[in-house]
Amino acid sequence: MATKDTAEKAATTTGDENRNYELMVLVQPELRESEAKKKLKELEDFIESLGGKISMKDELGKLETAYDIKGFDRALYVVYQLQFPGEALSELNQHLRIDKDIIRFLIISTPEGYEYVRYEEEAPSIMDEEEEKPKAKKAAPKASASAPKDQKDKDEGKEPSKEEVDKKLDDILG
Q: What angle do CA 17, 22, 27 make, to 5 degrees?
A: 130
On the question of pLDDT at 89 being above 70, the answer is yes
CB atoms within 10 A of CB 82: 24
The whole-number average pLDDT for the span 74-94 is 94
Q: What is the pLDDT of residues 146-167, one digit of tens each?
A: 555 555 555 566 787 878 878 8
Q: What is the CA radius of gyration of the chain?
A: 27
Please tell me the distance from the alpha carbon of residue 118 to that of residue 58, in angstroms, as a whole number. Answer: 7
User: Considering the entire predicted model, what is its pTM?
Assistant: 0.60
Q: What is the pLDDT of residues 108-151, one digit of tens each?
A: 999 988 888 887 666 555 445 555 545 444 444 444 445 555 55
CB atoms within 10 A of CB 23: 21
Model pLDDT, residue 122: 61
Domains and CATH numbers, the chain: 15-111 (3.30.70.60)
